[in-house]
């Protein structure tokens, strides 16, 4: 019996060690490129090639160049453009997704289940497959170089999947709360704002995070609609830093990439206490 217990303990220890080794390996894979990007942003010159991870002659010249506004580089404007697009996308996504999800969760109407299935099917269509149609539409409406059209398209892309997720979370909130509020004279609008939304903060945090980070990482759509350098968002602007027209400045690109992570980190820190709970909460009932 003792031998069997010792054997089980040994197996558990081996599994534990292997688990830790795997986690350490994954952390190294994730952290190493980030550290390389940070150190590259302080490297003199324009090349990412370096003999050591820590630069021998670190410089902040690349960060200074980002905000120099020398006539070809508008990093400050790109940064503000990206923040504007991301913030409006996040706010509008929260409004439209929460209202749509509440309608699907609390009301029964013709075509409800078919609409939910359609939302899932829309997520299977790659975004780039509609780029030509979006470009033609933007030209017809005279909205090339328009952040408004970009925001509306981002918001529309956020609605289907996030509606399905948030609707599943709303389904877990007991209907008894709605009925009790209606007995006290509360309308559906008041129930939505004062009962459902406060109880749904974890999943709302997930929707907000998705809405904020999506535009910051998008290149394909913004590159089709934004042609003037002053209207660029950060993904397009940073891409231009590594093209021949702007001198293929990879180290300046690295500096710009580090700075773009700051607002994402701040939003994540503000939402983190709700974020993990929201990712694992809720079911998706039809």
10-residue mean pLDDT series, the chain (286 residues): 67 81 87 80 69 70 75 78 93 92 86 80 74 85 88 88 86 86 86 87 88 87 86 86 64 82 86 63 42
Q: How many residues does the chain have?
A: 286
- Asked whether the beta carbons of 94 and 162 are under 8 A apart, the reply is no
**Per-residue tokens: 108:** 């029964």
Fold type of domain 70-280:
MetI-like fold (1.10.3720)
Res 164: pLDDT: 84
Res 8: pLDDT: 72
Res 91: pLDDT: 94
Res 283: pLDDT: 40
Pick left, alpha or beta for residue 179 (phi over 0 → left; psi -120 to 50 → alpha; otherwise beta): alpha
Whole-number Å distance between alpha carbons of 209 and 213:
6
Q: Is residue 49 exposed (0-12), middle (13-18) or buried (19+ Cβ within 10 Å)?
A: exposed
Residue spans of the domains in the chain: they are 2-61, 70-280
Q: Is residue 19 exposed (0-12), middle (13-18) or buried (19+ Cβ within 10 Å)?
A: exposed
Distance of CA 7 to the CA centre of its chain: 46
Res 191: pLDDT: 87
Res 3: pLDDT: 66
Whole-number Å distance between alpha carbons of 241 and 141:
30
């Amino acid at each position: 019996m003792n031998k069997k217990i010792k054997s089980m303990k040994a197996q558990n220890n081996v599994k534990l060690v292997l688990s830790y080794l795997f986690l350490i390996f994954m952390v190294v894979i994730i952290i190493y490129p980030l550290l390389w990007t940070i150190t590259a942003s302080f490297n003199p010159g324009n090349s990412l090639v370096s003999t050591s991870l820590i630069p021998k002659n670190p410089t902040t010249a690349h960060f200074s160049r980002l905000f120099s506004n020398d006539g070809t580089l508008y990093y400050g404007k790109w940064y503000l453009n990206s923040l504007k697009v991301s913030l409006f996308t996040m706010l509008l996504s929260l409004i439209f997704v929460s209202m749509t999800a509440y309608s699907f969760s609390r009301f029964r109407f013709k075509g409800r289940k078919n609409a939910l299935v359609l939302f899932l099917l829309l997520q299977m269509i790659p975004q780039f497959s509609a780029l030509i149609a979006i470009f033609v539409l933007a030209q017809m409406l005279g909205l090339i170089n328009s952040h408004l059209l970009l925001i509306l398209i981002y918001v529309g892309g956020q609605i289907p999947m996030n509606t399905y997720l948030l609707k599943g979370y709303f389904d877990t909130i007991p209907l008894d709360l709605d009925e009790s509020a209606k007995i006290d004279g509360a309308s559906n609008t008041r129930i939505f704002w004062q009962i459902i939304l406060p109880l749904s903060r974890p999943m709302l945090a997930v929707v907000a995070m998705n809405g904020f980070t999506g535009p910051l990482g998008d290149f394909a759509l913004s590159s089709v609609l934004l042609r003037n350098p002053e209207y660029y968002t950060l993904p397009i602007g940073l891409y231009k830093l590594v093209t021949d027209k702007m001198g293929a400045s990879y180290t300046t690109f690295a500096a710009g990439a580090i700075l773009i992570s700051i607002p994402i980190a701040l939003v994540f820190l503000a939402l983190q206490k709700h974020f993990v709970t929201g990712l694992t909460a809720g079911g998706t009932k039809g």
